[in-house]
Amino acid sequence: AGLQAQLAALPDARDDVLRHAAGWVAQRFAAEQARHAKMGFNDLLTRLDAALSGSNGPRLAQVIREQFPVALIDEFQDTDAVQYRIFDAVYRVAANDESTALILIGDPKQAIYAFRGADIYTYLSARAATAGRHYTLRRNFRSTHAMVAAANRCFALAEERDGGAGAFLFRSDAGNPVPFLPAEANGRDDVLQAEGAELPALNLWRLPPKADGKALSKSDYVAEMAAVCASEMVRLLNLGQQGQAGFFGKGEVRGLRPADMAVLVSSGSEATAIRDALAARGVRSVYLSEKEPVFRRPEAVELQLWLSACAEPDDGRLLRAALATPTLGLDWAELDGLNRDETAWDERIDQFRTYRECWRRQGVLPMLRRLLNDFRVPARLLAGGGAGERSLTDLLHLAELLQQASLLLDGEHALIRHLAEQRREDKVGGDTRQVRLESDADLVKVVTIHKSKGLEYPLVFLPFACSFRATKSTDLPLKWHDADGQLQLALQGDDPAQLALADRERLGEDLRKLYVALTRARYATWVGTAALDGLERSHLGYLLGGGLDAGLAELAAADGIALFDEPEASDERYQARDTAIVEG
């Protein structure tokens, strides 16, 4: 017992070890880069920053300034501290040197890339350094007057609330460096109508609480709202097919089509929920995300099984797993028959031995093309419509990526390990993103809010606007900024005050994401709400003042905003006139 007490009393070295490890890894990585004479993209910034801070920094800054006397930086709200330090060293922002011009264009309300290293506090530093030299572009050329007014109304509620921190949590006694300024609308020449009436610009759905009065769970909210949203989309699309819903203006009418609709989501699970609900009603959709590596597709799983069987065709377990994959198209009777018909089983073994020889002699891409053709995969997938076309495209894309990787790897098993590692990897990019199809343009877009930034859509649906994820003590390291705008880190989450600060910054970014989402539509937006547990900690809950019912009532009091209580889902299916078979 005494020894256990002494061990428990020993200091915890975890944080010290992590700090030491971070410094050691950075030094070792830099040494290895120097030994191999290599640099990464981040090194271009950090080394220039170090050079500008060194003894020859002023001379280097002068050379750059003379070569590039004018610089324009777009999307400046996504800048980080290192990038701004470089521009400040070159152009001396606060000094306002008349021999140069540095034009910074950005909207802090759309600073939503903290996970990539973007720092809104860097923007605030630049804002302070350029005091008196600010110009606001307030006219919106995207949306109707009603849509702009509705979006203004949402954020004006929080901005005008007495005693609050403003719409974006930056208001204090010292001022508000990120104020909400209502936009002005240039307007559009046409209007969105359905069944002879102009649709409201902002449509609010409110789900009822449970029968026992308890708040809906997040899973119930997502499932119910996905069904409600898909039902309304189908209703409007069918009206569009009948010429009763569309865009009316200048004597012309264009019917509503799936391509006019976008559903904005925050996660892959939300995307799956709404896509499943749409598919059940005959509406095809495409998912556009910031994180869309093709290695995440189910086809990559099947491809790994095929490669394993081709590498070891005499392994019955691997071969049966490959033959049972849905894409190869063998039915249950045929698979079961292989257990009883030795001749048929031997033929399959020989078939995959042939693939192995093709792989070794010609490469993995010719082998996979041969396998796909032998099993008539292209013909069957293309006959299946949009989903089949997507699957075939991803298979061929994966095959090409594996062919490229095989040039640097030795043997079949090395390539299989590479594929398995790519499937597990959290961050992949470049050529691994899914190839977009021309047919995707005709489908409903399911888009992450991050991906939607800078884009616009005629109709926007936000069915899961109340969903949020509060910062947890396990989200380490915790990050927040102090009163001077300096980034702070905590390696442990046991301090409630630090956790609250980190969650406050999460809420701030969520509010900016909501601003991006509510300003994507040209004509109308639909928002799904429900009294979830802890709603006051969400972005929408904050805008509404913490109370859903009172906040929605205040919001819906404005023109162009409609509140729909207890919306119901329907089983109505989309009837596309120009499609013989609707692929779900």
Give the largest Cα separation in the chain, rounded. 90
Q: What is the pLDDT of residue 291?
A: 54
Q: Based on the domain organization, do 279 and 300 belong to the same domain?
A: no
**Distance between CA 309 and CA 324 in Å, rounded?**
11
Which pLDDT tens digit goes with each residue over 526-536?
A: 999 999 999 99
**Distance between CA 392 and CA 385 in Å, rounded?**
11
521-529 and 245-249 as β-strands: parallel, antiparallel, unpaired? Answer: unpaired
Quickly state the pLDDT bin for 212 (edges 50, 70, 90).
confident
Q: Is the pLDDT of residue 438 over 50?
A: no
Element (H, E) at 127: helix 120-129
**Distance between CA 554 and CA 153 in Å, rounded?**
10
Listed residues 74, 107, 135: the one ending a domain: 135
Q: What is the pLDDT of residue 434?
A: 54
Q: Based on the domain organization, do 405 and 442 belong to the same domain?
A: no
Q: Based on the domain organization, do 101 and 214 belong to the same domain?
A: no
The answer to the question of residue 147 being in a domain is no
What percent of the chain has a predicted confidence (pLDDT) above 70?
95
Q: What is the pLDDT of residue 567?
A: 96
**Distance between CA 78 and CA 120 in Å, rounded?**
7
**Distance between CA 50 and CA 60 in Å, rounded?**
11
Q: Based on the domain organization, do 420 and 320 belong to the same domain?
A: yes
CB contact at 8 A, 460 and 521: yes
3-class SS string, 138-171: CEECCCCHHHHHHHHHHHHHHHCCCCCCCCCCCC
- Judged by average pLDDT, the poorest of 28-32, 60-64, 383-387 is 383-387
Q: Based on the domain organization, do 288 and 298 belong to the same domain?
A: no
Q: What is the pLDDT of residue 582?
A: 36
CB contact at 8 A, 281 and 230: yes
Identify the burial level of 133 via C-beta atoms within 10 angstroms of its C-beta, where 0-12 means exposed, 13-18 middle and 19 or more buried.
exposed
The answer to the question of residue 1 being in a domain is no
Expressed in angstroms, the distance from the first to the final Cα of the chain is 65
DSSP 344-403: HHHHHHHHHHHHHHHHHHH-HHHHHHHHHHHTTHHHHHHHT-HHHHHHHHHHHHHHHHHH
Let me know how many helices (H) and strands (E) the chain has, helices first: 21, 17
Q: Is the pLDDT of residue 257 over 90?
A: yes
Structure tokens at 417: 């390990």
CB contact at 8 A, 158 and 178: no
The answer to the question of residue 537 being in a domain is yes
Listed residues 118, 135, 152: the one ending a domain: 135
Q: Is the pLDDT of residue 1 over 90?
A: no
Nearest Cα neighbor of 446 from 434, 457, 438, 432 is 457
Q: Based on the domain organization, do 261 and 202 belong to the same domain?
A: yes
Boundaries of domain holding 88 = 44-135
Higher pLDDT, 7 or 582: 7
Q: What is the pLDDT of residue 433?
A: 53
| CB proximity list for 301: less than 8 A, separation 6 or greater | 423
DSSP 8-state assignment for residue 563 = E
Task: Work out the average pLDDT over 490-496.
Answer: 93
The answer to the question of residue 573 being in a domain is no
Q: What is the pLDDT of residue 211?
A: 83
Q: Based on the domain organization, do 54 and 91 belong to the same domain?
A: yes
CB contact at 8 A, 461 and 526: yes
Q: Based on the domain organization, do 299 and 284 belong to the same domain?
A: no
**Distance between CA 154 and CA 204 in Å, rounded?**
12
Task: Work out the average pLDDT over 313-327.
Answer: 95
Q: Is the pLDDT of residue 429 over 80?
A: no
Q: Based on the domain organization, do 324 and 392 belong to the same domain?
A: yes
Tokens 């547990």, residue? 533
**Distance between CA 542 and CA 514 in Å, rounded?**
11
Q: Is the pLDDT of residue 18 over 50?
A: yes
The answer to the question of residue 322 being in a domain is yes
Listed residues 395, 412, 432: the one ending a domain: 432
Q: Is the pLDDT of residue 409 over 80?
A: yes
Structure tokens at 420: 């398995």
Identify the burial level of 360 via C-beta atoms within 10 angstroms of its C-beta, where 0-12 means exposed, 13-18 middle and 19 or more buried.
middle
Q: What is the pLDDT of residue 214?
A: 85
Q: Based on the domain organization, do 204 and 280 belong to the same domain?
A: yes
The answer to the question of residue 165 being in a domain is no
Which pLDDT tens digit goes with each residue over 81-139?
A: 999 999 999 999 999 999 999 999 999 999 999 988 899 999 999 999 999 999 999 99
DSSP 153-220: HHHHHHHTSTTS-TTTT--BTTB-SS-----EE---S-EEEETTEEPPSEEEEE----TTSPPPPHHH
- The CATH number of whichever domain residue 531 belongs to comes to 3.40.50.300
Nearest Cα neighbor of 283 from 228, 234, 345, 344 is 234
Mean pLDDT rounded to a whole number for the chain: 91
Element (H, E) at 496: helix 496-518
The answer to the question of residue 11 being in a domain is no
Sequence-distant contacts of 483-486: CB under 8 A, at least 24 apart? 485/121, 485/124, 485/125, 486/121
Q: Is the pLDDT of residue 222 over 80?
A: yes
Q: Based on the domain organization, do 235 and 305 belong to the same domain?
A: no
Q: What is the pLDDT of residue 584?
A: 31
Q: Where are the beta strands (DSSP E) in 530-574?
A: 561-565
Higher pLDDT, 299 or 580: 299
Which pLDDT tens digit goes with each residue over 159-193?
A: 999 888 999 999 998 899 999 999 999 999 999 99
Quickly state the pLDDT bin for 74 (edges 50, 70, 90).
very high
How many domains is the chain built from? 3
Task: Work out the average pLDDT over 513-531.
Answer: 97
Q: Based on the domain organization, do 414 and 471 belong to the same domain?
A: no
Task: Work out the average pLDDT over 14-29.
Answer: 94
- Neighbouring CB atoms inside 10 A of 305's CB total 20
- The CATH number of whichever domain residue 396 belongs to comes to 1.10.486.10
| CB proximity list for 91: less than 8 A, separation 6 or greater | 65, 71, 97, 100, 102
Nearest Cα neighbor of 461 from 258, 163, 190, 238 is 258
**CA 34 → CA 38, 82, 314, 418, 420, distances in Å?**
6, 21, 47, 27, 31
The answer to the question of residue 51 being in a domain is yes
